[in-house]
Amino acid sequence: MNTDEFGLPSDADVFEEIAKGEQHITVSLETRRYGKKITVVSGFDKTVDLKSIAKSLKEKLACGGTVKDHTVELQGNHKRNVRPLLVSLGFPEESISD
């Protein structure tokens, strides 16, 4: 979180925290070609920085992935591990469904 000279959060950080609370995120599992499993995290609106969320999820889960059409696609079955990571990133647990 960025702070100004007085140690207060910037306006952008405050708006991003409010936006995170208004999300309705869905975590699902899809099977692609040749039986490959893909974990799909969807339900984000345009106010959230999806690339940074995808980057941190990929780093913490040690997997590859991409951002497509306001969804995060992670290679492999990570459905069980995504919820605690999203909560640690600031999303309320009530807004995440399986």
pLDDT value at residue 16? 55
Long-range CB contacts for residues 54-59, cutoff 8 Å, separation at least 24: 56/85, 56/89, 57/82, 57/85, 57/86
Q: Which residue has the higher pLDDT, 47 or 3?
A: 47
Q: Does 6 fall in a domain?
A: no
Query: Whole-model pTM?
Result: 0.77
Identify the CATH number of the domain in which residue 73 sits.
3.30.780.10
E strand intervals along 1-98: 25-31, 37-42, 65-68, 71-75, 96-97
Residue 6 contacts residue 78 (beta carbons within 8 Å): no
**β partners of residue 17:** none
Q: Which residue has the higher pLDDT, 5 or 48?
A: 48
C-alpha–C-alpha distance, residues 45 and 32, integer Å? 25
Q: Give percent of the chain above pLDDT 70.
A: 78
Tell me how many domains the chain contains.
1
Domain residue limits at 59 = 25-97
